[in-house]
Structure 1
Amino acid sequence: MMDVSRETQARLETFAALLIKWNAKINLVSARDLAQLWPRHIEDSLQIAPLVPRGARVIDLGSGGGFPGLIVGIASDAEMTLIESDQRKAAFLREAARACGVRAQVLAQRIEAARPAPASFVTARALAPLAKLLEWTQPLLAPGGQALFLKGKALPDELTDAQANWHMSHEILNSRTDENGAIIKVSDIRRVE
């Protein structure tokens, strides 16, 4: 488990209890994954927190059950914009943000339709191939900003595919929770002319 303050740990435990309660009614994580909630979802999402300065503005795409968006919000006291098209999941995100003391705006709409002010960071986890993430991220990322995506073993192929249509600077960091996973930090995103 990543080192976090007692206060952060308490807020994460509040979040986990709420997710377990809501998961009985709406599918936030699969029943199989519920037993692995901490290592598979919470700790995986926590890896992004040290990459986000305290209090930064962050847009999280496809927030679903709050991964990584609410976890980053809890751990880095970031100002979060969570985009989630599923109305029931959006309701969960609002309640979890309130219960965990996260400064969060929840946009219950499709990513393509959302028009929040651009942010310094855009995050996503288990959402779409890299090329699609870049398409969604480009208009949402402030100049000089960074996208932080948690990716799986398909990342090398996704990177090759994305580079056909996108110029970008990127750095790949090994996941601390998944031997096949990685975090890709992306900046200077622009379409190939």
Structure 2
Amino acid sequence: MTLFYFLDIIGIIAFAISGSLMAMRKKMDPFGVFIIAFATAVGGGTLRDVLIGAQPVFWMKNTDVIYFIVASYFIAIIFRKKLKYLNKSLFLFDSIGLGLYTIMGTEIGLNANFHPIIIISIATMSASFGGVIRDILCNEIPVIFRKEIYATACVLGSIVFLILHNFNVNNAVIYVSTTFLIIAIRLVAVKFKLSLPTFYTKE
């Protein structure tokens, strides 16, 4: 098992748990919880594969992904009472998935020899689209469209990834440092209530 594959699976698990927690918070039935978990876990990667023309998409080629999602779904349900602070748990798993999917998208874009701007775009969409689907299905305004720093963390993480790669830094160091950077940006932004400006004006 390569480090790339391992981190990809961790990202899928994190997003599947994130989707499960959101669905349970919305008091959905078991089937609804699974659908949200599945859509959250594969949504970003599916969009990424469609954009780069990878057919079939990753979870159709590797059915292990489905097994990991199912396992994550049951873990979230079994330990739901242990997760007393659902919002905090949701935020944590969502941030982990965001970081990991950003580096996955960046690496895949690099391997396809895309322009850096395209790579950053693919990485950001890959990381955030699953959360967009989750929020829309749960009748929430997607985090990416709110003031909260979300996609910005992906963009910054992907840029740092590309810079480190340009200096021939070891891949393992790039993967780990970039992931932790994105998670740290999310944590600091929420802790200190940092956000992007909005265009809202009072009538």
TM-score, with structure 1 as normaliser: 0.35
Is the helix fraction higher in 1 or 2? 2
Tell me which structure has the larger Cα radius of gyration: 2
